[in-house]
Amino acid sequence: MKKPAKKPAKTADPTNPAHYRAHPSGVECITVTEHMGFCRGNAIKYIWRAGERPEREVEDLRKAIWYLEREVQRLTRPIPYELAPKGVAK
C-alpha cells in the first residue's frame, strides 16, 4: 500500500503576506497603520504594497484613492445638529 504524498509546506503567511513586510526600512505596514483611522490606514496599506504585486499596482493605487476620498467625505459632511457639540449654532 502506497503512503499518501506529503503536502508541501506553505511558505506564504496568509495573515502577514510578504508584500506588507517588504519595505526597505524593515518596518511592517501594520506598525504604521494601526495608529491611524480605518480609511487612512487602508489608504496607506494600499500605497505601501503598490508595486509589490506588479499585476495589481494600479488597482492598489485606485483603492488608496478610494479610501482617501471616503475619508475626505467623512471629514467634510455636516454634523446633524442633535449630534453636534453644545454651543454649535443652529
The residues spanned by each domain of the chain are 24-76
7-47 pLDDT, tens digit per residue, is: 545 567 777 677 777 777 888 888 999 999 999 999 999 99
Percent of the chain at pLDDT exceeding 90: 43
Q: DSSP class of residue 35?
A: T
User: How high does pLDDT run on average in the chain?
Assistant: 82
Percent of the chain at pLDDT exceeding 70: 79
**68 Cβ contact list (under 8 Å, min separation 6):** 39, 40, 43
At 80 the pLDDT is 73
